[in-house]
Amino acid sequence: SAVISQKPSRDICQRGTSLTIQCQVDSQVTMMFWYRQQPGQSLTLIATANQGSEATYESGFVIDKFPISRPNLTFSTLTVSNMSPEDSSIYLCSVRPGSYEQYFGPGTRLTVT
Amino acid sequence: GESVGLHLPTLSVQEGDNSIINCAYSNSASDYFIWYKQESGKGPQFIIDIRSNMDKRQGQRVTVLLNKTVKHLSLQIAATQPGDSAVYFCAEGGSYIPTFGRGTSLIVHP
């Protein structure tokens, strides 16, 4: 298993600003993912962030809007840039330590005003 | 395209009853399925998984059934407790990045 922490747990931000979310894992993992979960909705994959390579973004998500860093095997950041109210959501970090099981962090609840 | 969907958005049960949450999938090549539980304000928590070479798998108070013929899986929770109240997601995984269904909200009444 893996224990994941995220910072901040929640934030309220002004339109046009940027927020960087941190994800820390208690063990070294290669595969890390960032998801978005809008209120009352399911999880949508933003990007896959494997250490040692550029992040791979899903359709509808671009690096300029959601830049990701993955400096080592236990840490990653996701930045939500130039925020608008439509970016209000829960952002979740997730890892896959093995072949199948996937674990999630507690999420960062973002509100953009 | 692939899709993973849930039949009912909300399920209300009485404490002590058994709960059954259903999920349909469309990719017949899927070889691995996972159930997650998400409590309010928390991230999804792994509950149980099943590989496509199995029809049934049991955990503590939970059982997952897989019917590959009709591409359907279910999560059964025995003796449902108030602490089971949460949103439950099925996900299609395996070598792919999991695709999550919409979620079913389980409400347990004392």
Neighboring chain A residues of B40 at a CB cutoff of 8 Å: none
User: Which of A48, A94, A100 comes nearest B94 by C-beta?
Assistant: A100
Average pLDDT over chain A reads 94
Average pLDDT over residues A3-9: 96
| pLDDT attached to residue B95 | 61
Neighboring chain A residues of B34 at a CB cutoff of 8 Å: 100-102
Q: What's the rounded Cα separation, in Å, for the pair A103 and B104?
A: 19
DSSP string of A40-74, one letter each residue: T--EEEEEE--TTS--EEPTT--TTTS-EEEEETT
Average pLDDT over chain B reads 88
Average pLDDT over residues B35-60: 93
pLDDT tens, residue by residue, A27-77 = 999 889 999 998 888 899 999 998 888 899 999 999 999 999 999 999 999
| pLDDT attached to residue B60 | 92
**Contact flag A106-B42 (C-beta cutoff 8 Å):** yes
**Range B11-24 burial, b when 16+ CB lie within 10 A, else e:** bebeeeeebebbbb
Asked if pLDDT for residue B6 goes beyond 80, the answer is no
| pLDDT attached to residue B2 | 41
Neighboring chain A residues of B36 at a CB cutoff of 8 Å: 104
Classify burial at A1, counting beta carbons within 10 Å of its beta carbon; exposed 0-12, middle 13-18, buried 19 or more. Answer: exposed
* Residue A87, SS3 per DSSP: helix
Q: What's the rounded Cα separation, in Å, for the pair B6 and B58?
A: 21
Whether B64 and B35 have beta carbons less than 8 Å apart is answered as yes
Asked if pLDDT for residue B3 goes beyond 60, the answer is no
| pLDDT attached to residue B94 | 63
Q: Shortest CA distance to B51 belongs to which of B93, B90, B7, B84?
A: B93
pLDDT tens, residue by residue, B64-110 = 999 999 999 999 999 999 999 999 999 987 666 778 888 999 999 99
